[in-house]
Chain A
Amino acid sequence: MKNFEGLNYYEILKIPANSTSFEIKRAYQDALSIYNEDSLVTYSLFSNEERGNLLNTVKEAYSTLIDENKRAAYDTILLDSGQIEMSITSIQNQKTPPHAHTSHMTDRDTVEERVRKKSRKKEVETLSNEILSRDLISGDDLKKMREAAGIELSEINAVTKITVTVLKSMEENRIEGLPPKLYLKNFLRHYAEILQIDSQKVIDGYLKHISSVQKK
């Protein structure tokens, strides 16, 4: 089974990027009616776990797009990565075009570049050196480093396509919300690459931390 891999929030709700809030609400209701456990269409298709993950992503998409500020920030990311075009974003965004969007900043590399620049600060480096020297690395440590660099979860999502729900589970050490180990390792590697820290240390430290939590 595939989840929503590779789809942005608009694609998940099956609406164009210039949808009104009314259309977003309606699309959300439609999506809920399809992914709910009493839906005739899907009740026998997904396991409870699969359904839970899909519903979380749908809710996350809705709560981002229905909030004007969050949506504007998300649109900026999509614009920068070239997933949507200026002309089709919602009207409220057209009035105040994001200043980051200039002609030479349209591809994904520039978003990545912009996000990475944030982690090059001196104080971030000191903090991450300190954290990486430990044997165990928890989700809180990841969060601390990310916040020190001033990087938002939605920005990590825009570059890596890892959903915000999963990123949150990683940061909050919620084992039941984590993907299978193989994927988790990959996600941790991407996460570390964005923060420009040693990915192998992050993977080893985090997995050790998780297994120590499980033993308790």
Chain B
Amino acid sequence: MAQIYPIGGGKGGVGKTFITASLGALLAKSGKKVVLIDLDLGGSNLHTVLGINDQQGGINRFLDKTVKNLENMAVPTVIQNLFFISSSLCSMEIANLFHAHKLKIINAIQKLAFDYILLDLGTGTNFNTLDFFLTSNQGIFICTPEPTAIENSFRFIKAVYLRKLKHIVKQHSFHSAVKKAVIHPNHEAVTSPDIIEIVLKHDPDREMFLRNRLSGFKFKFILNQFRKNLDATIGDKIEDLCNRHFYSNFQFLGNVGYDVRIHDSVLSKKVFIHKYPYAPPAIDIKKIAEKIINTRSFIPVTG
């Protein structure tokens, strides 16, 4: 069974694409069969970071039905065992994906035969991004130790959490008042505590079920561009705090050091960890890859 790791985070420029490429490369180097999928629809970059000149297309050919099986669009990279599915030749309007197309992509991803599937997601909290993040019961968000990035990460977590909560209520039997409040709310801004309160009021027996479902969702996170003079415990603090105040599960995977050479490797379109395997960030990401390999696999997403 493939392990799917969507890689997101609310803010742009925090290194989602860089981490996806590096993590994928290190998992592949340790003998796992890995595919990276660029789901930053309308803002695709992953091919460039991997040094691939995308000629043959990827998701676009799967959506226009010229290719039936998404797996056939996985192209090899300079690293053995590492494959890539591009979205850079998708139409200029692809960012506004049709719902049916979104489901088609999610279904196809869940059927891919790889050990690890990493999804590089776009910025922000639009429904496409959130739903791609919820393809799996575990996702990684990338953040940098700056107030702006942390703020956007919390926004992203809360948005994912609310959407997850709504999915759970929609897909399982709940009291009609709960369903109504989620599907046709009286006011626009229904929040997660609101929903839990409504469940407590109308369907108290289902509260434990809801909590269990939420706690089955694992958020993992990485602090990228970490500079030496910062408080090294900040990741642990965020992990502890989120575990205390959300019903879902949080795991801090580690800091990834800041290194000017990362910028250089992007400029030269070379995979950073391939070019500088012993640079501090490469070693940081290697530790994270080991943590991921040692995590036991989870049951696939059921809602």
Shortest Cβ-Cβ A-B pairs, 4 listed:
A44-B151, A45-B154, A2-B245, A41-B237
The reply to whether A182 and B151 contact each other, CB–CB distance below 8 Å, is no
Interface size class of B (residues with CB under 8 A): 10 to 19
Q: Is the interface of B mostly helix, strand, loop or mixed?
A: helix
Separation of A37 and B107 alpha carbons in the complex (Å):
43
Decide if A69 is an interface residue (CB 8 Å cutoff): no
Separation of A41 and B231 alpha carbons in the complex (Å):
11
Interface size class of A (residues with CB under 8 A): 10 to 19
Residues of A within 8 Å of B192, CB to CB, are 1
Separation of A14 and B193 alpha carbons in the complex (Å):
25
Decide if B1 is an interface residue (CB 8 Å cutoff): no
17 of the cross-chain contacts (CB-CB < 8 Å) are: A1-B193, A1-B246, A2-B244, A2-B246, A3-B245, A40-B150, A40-B234, A41-B238, A42-B241, A43-B147, A43-B151, A44-B147, A44-B155, A45-B245, A180-B197, A182-B197, A182-B201
The reply to whether A41 and B150 contact each other, CB–CB distance below 8 Å, is yes
Separation of A90 and B153 alpha carbons in the complex (Å):
40
The reply to whether A2 and B247 contact each other, CB–CB distance below 8 Å, is yes
The reply to whether A34 and B200 contact each other, CB–CB distance below 8 Å, is no
Q: Which of A177-192 contact B (CB under 8 A)?
A: 180, 182
A1-B192, A2-B244 given; A44·B154 CB < 8 A: yes
Residues of A within 8 A of B (CB): 1-4, 34, 40-45, 180, 182
Nearest-neighbour CB distance to chain A for B217, whole angstroms, equals 15
The reply to whether B201 and A44 contact each other, CB–CB distance below 8 Å, is no
Q: Which chain A residue shows the least CB distance to B201?
A: A182
The reply to whether A34 and B241 contact each other, CB–CB distance below 8 Å, is yes
Nearest-neighbour CB distance to chain A for B241, whole angstroms, equals 6
A41, A44, A182 — which one has the most chain B CB atoms within 10 A of its CB?
A: A41
Residues of B within 8 Å of A182, CB to CB, are 197, 200-201
Separation of A43 and B148 alpha carbons in the complex (Å):
11
Separation of A1 and B245 alpha carbons in the complex (Å):
5
Q: Which chain A residue shows the least CB distance to B198?
A: A182
The reply to whether A34 and B237 contact each other, CB–CB distance below 8 Å, is yes
The reply to whether A40 and B147 contact each other, CB–CB distance below 8 Å, is yes
Nearest-neighbour CB distance to chain A for B158, whole angstroms, equals 9
Q: Which chain A residue shows the least CB distance to B231?
A: A40
Residues of B within 8 Å of A180, CB to CB, are 197
Residues of B within 8 Å of A34, CB to CB, are 237, 241
Separation of A1 and B161 alpha carbons in the complex (Å):
10
Nearest-neighbour CB distance to chain A for B175, whole angstroms, equals 15
Residues of A within 8 Å of B145, CB to CB, are 40
Separation of A34 and B234 alpha carbons in the complex (Å):
10
Separation of A92 and B82 alpha carbons in the complex (Å):
62
Separation of A3 and B145 alpha carbons in the complex (Å):
25
Nearest-neighbour CB distance to chain B for A1, whole angstroms, equals 5
Residues of A within 8 Å of B234, CB to CB, are 40-41
Q: Which chain B residue shows the least CB distance to A30?
A: B237
Separation of A6 and B234 alpha carbons in the complex (Å):
25
Nearest-neighbour CB distance to chain B for A185, whole angstroms, equals 10
Residues of B within 8 Å of A44, CB to CB, are 147, 150-151, 154-155
Residue of B155, B193, B241 near A41 (CB, 8 A) is B241
Separation of A195 and B147 alpha carbons in the complex (Å):
48
Residues of B within 8 Å of A40, CB to CB, are 145, 147, 150, 234
Q: Which chain A residue shows the least CB distance to B230?
A: A40
Nearest-neighbour CB distance to chain A for B146, whole angstroms, equals 8
- Fill in one digit per residue for B223-255: 1 if any A CB lies within 8 Å of its CB, else 0: 000000000001001100100111100000000
Separation of A2 and B215 alpha carbons in the complex (Å):
13
Apart from A42-B241, A45-B245, A182-B197, 10 more pairs, CB < 8 Å: A1-B192, A1-B193, A4-B244, A40-B145, A41-B234, A41-B241, A44-B150, A44-B155, A45-B154, A45-B241
Nearest-neighbour CB distance to chain B for A213, whole angstroms, equals 23
- Fill in one digit per residue for B133-163: 1 if any A CB lies within 8 Å of its CB, else 0: 0000000000001010011001100000000
Residues of B within 8 Å of A2, CB to CB, are 244-247
